[in-house]
Amino acid sequence: MAYGLSRRALRPKVPLRPGEGEKHRLTSLEGLAALSLDALSSVAYGPEAIVLALVAAGTGALTATLPITLVITFLLATLVISYGQVIAVHPDGGGAYAVAKQDLGPTPSLLAAASLVVDYVLTVAVSLTAGADALASAFPALAPDKLLVCLAGLALLTAVNLRGVTESARVLMLPTVVFIVAVIGVIVVGLFRTHPVAVVGTYQPVHATEALGLLLVLKAFSSGCSALTGVEAIANAVPTFRSPRVKRAQRTELMLGALLGLMLVGLAVLIRRDHVAPRGDVTVLAQLTAGAYGDGWPYYVTNIAVALVLLLAANTSFGGLPVLMSLLARDHRLPHLFGLRAERPVYRYGVVSLAVLAGALLIASDADTHRLIPLFAIGVFIGFTLSQLGLVRHWATQKPAEWKRHALINGTGAVLTTLAGVILLTTKFLEGAWVVVIAVPLLMLLLARIQRYYTAVGEELQLGKVPAPPDRRTGSLVIVPLGEVSKLARHAITAALALGDEVVAVAVQADPEKARALRESWDRWNPGVRLDIIDSPHRSLVQPIVDYVRRVSGDGRQIAVLIPEVEPTHRRYEILQNQRGLLLATVLRARTDVVVCMLPYRLRV
């Protein structure tokens, strides 16, 4: 007693179920691997998108790569600070959706939700196709099978995430570390070299087709903004972190911003110094890698790491979208099954839905990155803008300490992201962005219709109100459909006698001889329960019983139908059992208001 034994006895330790406890949640480093690959891997195509836009004005225009990248990095810093505030204000996750719902109202929250769902699905498709492109560059034999490679990668990510986000983070930890070390190594080693060690790819002549003007700079800026997608994923998935969740998520957001900003600026400096222009069969990042490491084994290790991380960057969506869908389900804007979790902390319906939508998009686009890129990043900038506008209103309403400084930061970010979003939309509209302009409102309409349905159901069921006293019914009747006298019949009648005041067995027979034999067997058994035999000349089983139940349910009694069902020991034998009981239960539920019960009888063979 002196050593506290009684206290421990009063608080017995309950074993945790699989998926419970802090060990199944993310640390900061695991969160960086599980939720940041989309943003980090964008260094493989973000700087290249800027170069491809600027080269239209000739190689001399490539000097603008660095200042454009610095503006994008400034925007990145603003977003990181803003989403750190989002994490603190909304620790239950949801990101832009949670902010818009609380501070901007129903319609902006629907816009945020729809745009984020579209962007998450596009993130999976673009990441997988970009990774497949990188693999095809290293291994040309894979080029004809890009779609198959993408679908295989999608299946692998889906299987890993169905096991749990922690397991996916552990799987992704090693390739993430290799990728970060390799890219930072390219920057550091490249800066120490006076000239590129090796040149890869085939020379392509550059012909200037337009002058370096404001429109071209804006187009390059909008293309480079694709490097900012994924910054919001950590704020959407705060509940997946270990305690203290807010501090761990904020720390992960800061690590993401620092690493991404460092890599973007470092690569832009190398591009400007070495005048790196597009070359055939290689990416800009591959050229920078060869310039730093040469064309030996470090070159191949880096390119394989880039390809692998691009393929795995889709994991960001698997960490963020299921949590967002669970919040939408909680708000009655998606089917409630999206809020269900398995034994492990996994929203499996959200994971599977994301995989199905991304797979359909990959098949529709034939895994062509260039067909998907124009759709990319527009949705996420809508979320960026709404989250920061919502925070401005939050600070103005709550007025905590230093609220003006917070509002100034978020207001600046909102102006910048609005400008970037408008530029993205106008420069990429005819290239395919119009699809997003159509898809987002349609998804908003779907979410609103689902919410309207749940509202109508709540009013019909009078949820939240005290109902009238229950109806007093005189007696109850249990109907047991049977085929013959057997141990199964005994099992069913025994259960029925325990449930109701009156029990009647019902059998459907088409053959008079079999009906007579059943009556004789029943009389010999004599269970003390009436047997009604229904004649069915057309050998129909379900409809005669449904008609019988309708006839006897008109006297005001509570009617229950108890359907015995044989269950084999092994699932492989289920196909050998007839499914008439399940069919009868389905029809009774659809056409009557009686209580339908399935009574299992488990076989031993």
DSSP states of 393-425: HHHHHH--TTHHHHHHHHHHHHHHHHHHHHHHH
| Residue 442 sits in the same domain as residue 492 | no
In which residue ranges of the chain is pLDDT below 50?
1-21
- For residue 478 the two structure tokens come to 């249990």
Does any domain span residue 466? no
| Residue 487 sits in the same domain as residue 416 | no
pLDDT value of residue 1? 37
- Helix then strand count (H, E) for the chain reads 24, 5
Say if residue 58 is exposed, middle or buried (CB neighbours under 10 Å; 0-12, 13-18, 19+): middle
pLDDT value of residue 170? 66
Contact 242, 25 (CB under 8 A): yes
pLDDT value of residue 539? 63
Half-sphere exposure of 401 (CA within 13 A, CB side): 0
Residue 559's CATH number:
3.40.50.620
| Residue 31 sits in the same domain as residue 140 | yes
pLDDT value of residue 5? 43
| Residue 266 sits in the same domain as residue 364 | yes
Task: Please report which residue ranges of 104-213 form alpha helices under DSSP H.
Answer: 106-138, 146-163, 165-192
Does any domain span residue 470? no
- Out of 384, 419, 454, pick the residue that ends a domain: 454
| Residue 487 sits in the same domain as residue 444 | no
pLDDT value of residue 470? 66
pLDDT value of residue 402? 80
Q: Provide Rg for the chain, Cα atoms.
A: 32
Taking the C-alpha atoms of residue 415 and residue 484, their distance in angstroms, rounded to an integer, is: 77
| Residue 400 sits in the same domain as residue 517 | no
Helix/strand/coil percent split, the chain, to 5: 70, 5, 25
> Domain containing 543: what range?
476-602
- Stated length of the chain: 605
Taking the C-alpha atoms of residue 160 and residue 351, their distance in angstroms, rounded to an integer, is: 10
Does any domain span residue 316? yes
| Residue 527 sits in the same domain as residue 445 | no
Rounded to 10°, the helix 284-293/46-54 angle is 110
| Residue 55 sits in the same domain as residue 131 | yes
Does any domain span residue 471? no
pLDDT value of residue 17? 42
Does any domain span residue 503? yes
Say if residue 40 is exposed, middle or buried (CB neighbours under 10 Å; 0-12, 13-18, 19+): buried
Taking the C-alpha atoms of residue 148 and residue 223, their distance in angstroms, rounded to an integer, is: 28
| Residue 446 sits in the same domain as residue 554 | no
| Residue 372 sits in the same domain as residue 483 | no
Q: Which residues pair with 258 in a beta bridge?
A: none
Does any domain span residue 493? yes
- Out of 422, 454, 486, pick the residue that ends a domain: 454
User: DSSP secondary-structure letter at 91?
Assistant: T
| Residue 393 sits in the same domain as residue 513 | no
CA neighbor of 39 nearest in space, from 15, 72, 4: 72
- Ramachandran sector of residue 377 (left: φ over 0; alpha: ψ -120 to 50; beta: rest): left
pLDDT value of residue 504? 93
pLDDT value of residue 498? 87
Show Cβ contacts of residue 194 under 8 Å, excluding neighbours closer than 6 positions: none
Does any domain span residue 179? yes
**How many domains does the structure of the chain reveal?**
2
pLDDT, one tens digit per residue, over 326-381 is 888 888 899 888 887 765 567 888 889 999 999 998 898 888 776 776 677 677 78
| Residue 412 sits in the same domain as residue 495 | no
Residue 354's CATH number:
1.20.1740.10
Contact 79, 413 (CB under 8 A): yes
> pTM here?
0.71
Does any domain span residue 461? no
- Out of 424, 454, 484, pick the residue that ends a domain: 454
Angle at 354 between CA 349 and CA 355, to 5 degrees: 100
Residue 136: count other Cβ atoms within 10 Å of its Cβ. 17
pLDDT value of residue 70? 93
